[in-house]
Amino acid sequence: MGSRIVTVVLLVLLASLQGQLWLGRGSVPRVASMQQQLRSQQDANEAAAESNQRLASEVQDLREGLDMVEEKARSELGMVKPNEIFVQYLP
pLDDT in tens, 33-87: 999 999 999 999 999 999 999 999 888 877 887 777 777 777 777 777 778 777 7
85: left (phi over 0), alpha (psi -120 to 50) or beta: beta
Higher pLDDT, 29 or 62: 29
Number of structural domains in the chain: 1
**Under 8 Å between Cβ of 22 and 28:** yes
- Do the Cβ atoms of 69 and 62 come closer than 8 Å? yes
Contacts of residue 2, defined as CB under 8 A and 6 or more positions apart, other chains included, come to: none
Assess if residue 86 is contained within a domain: no
Let me know if residue 71 belongs to a domain: yes
Mean pLDDT of 18-36: 82
pLDDT of residue 51: 96
Q: Largest Cα–Cα distance in the chain?
A: 108
Which comes out higher in pLDDT, residue 37 or 91?
37
Residue-level pLDDT at 28: 81
Q: Is residue 16 part of a domain?
A: no
Distance CA 77, CA 55 (A): 20
